[in-house]
Amino acid sequence: MAAETEDAYDWLRSLPFPRPLVWRSYIYKRRLWYGFLCTVLLLSAVGIPLLFGLQQIQGQPSSDKLQPNQIAIYLGALVVVSYVMFVYTLFRQYDDVKWLGQRGEITEANILAVFRSQRKIFIGYRFWDKAGKEQEREAVIDIDSNYPLPELTSGMVVPLLYDPHKPEHRNYLWAEVSNYLVEKRRP
């Protein structure tokens, strides 16, 4: 693994700035699918019940009790808004990873602990930003059989990309970034 780590550093540092890294094709498809699904959910679970619910409410005398159709509208809206917020968070993660891949600072991260489950790897790591401030972070990486991760163990030193202006909030291990990004092919 030491050779893989050194190769990743050398490869990242050899790329021109901004680095020509783009999302893997499945990210484009996933974003399109999630956007379509959010639109359909918003229209079907919020828009249609709200339209019919408001028509029924306007025709009824006012009462202090909630009607069953109003409860369905509120619960449907809650579920849809929760899903939309999840998708928004996922889109932000993809955007952050792409930005860091293209423009982030490259440094070394010391892996402190690694815990594995069947579908995820939990990693605790430490790195130092440009100002010399120590940052300790945790990462949860999904295991994807299409893009295997290198064997990570405690004590390893691996590449990390971070935002020099917000290192405590925007930083990703290269092992995680490599699941989302690939070098753009020249025509």
- Report the pLDDT value the prediction gives residue 143, as an integer from 0 to 100: 77
pLDDT in tens, 133-177: 888 988 888 877 666 677 888 888 889 999 888 888 888 888 888
Of 64 and 81, more confident: 81
- Average pLDDT value for residue range 7-19: 83
CA distances from 91 to 23, 33, 48, 72 (A): 12, 12, 26, 28
pLDDT in tens, 29-54: 888 898 888 888 777 776 666 666 66
CB neighbours of 118 closer than 8 A, spacing ≥ 6? 143
- Report the pLDDT value the prediction gives residue 5, as an integer from 0 to 100: 58
pLDDT in tens, 83-118: 888 888 888 888 888 888 888 888 889 999 998 888
